[in-house]
Amino acid sequence: MEKLKVASRKKDFIHKIKVVFKELRETFICLKIIYRTKLYKTENKLQEALKENNELISIFVKSAEQNKRI
């Protein structure tokens, strides 16, 4: 019974990571649209947001990969 709980929690965790990853991809697309249409006050802040978004994507991809192996 305990193995079922662990498996269920793991599947739930991976599902949540996928949801976060999807949101981050959508955010990246929005940031790119803002960049291309020049709808920003300072390019520096937009570049920081793009960089942070990419870093978060990398973190969640790595987390999902590691949890699939366990």
Q: What is the domain count for the chain? A: 1
Residue 24: how many CB atoms within 10 A of its CB? 20
The mean predicted confidence, pLDDT, of the chain is 90
The alpha carbons of the chain give a radius of gyration, in whole angstroms, of 16
**Range with the largest mean pLDDT of 13-22, 48-57, 60-69:** 48-57
The predicted model gives 20-49 an average pLDDT of 96
Using pLDDT thresholds of 50, 70 and 90, give the confidence band for residue 46.
very high
Range of the domain at 37: 2-69
In the predicted structure, residue 41 carries a pLDDT above the cut 90: yes
Measure the CA–CA gap between 23 and 11, rounded to whole angstroms: 19
- In one-letter notation, the amino acid at residue 67 is N
Please tell me the distance from the alpha carbon of residue 20 to that of residue 24, in angstroms, as a whole number: 6
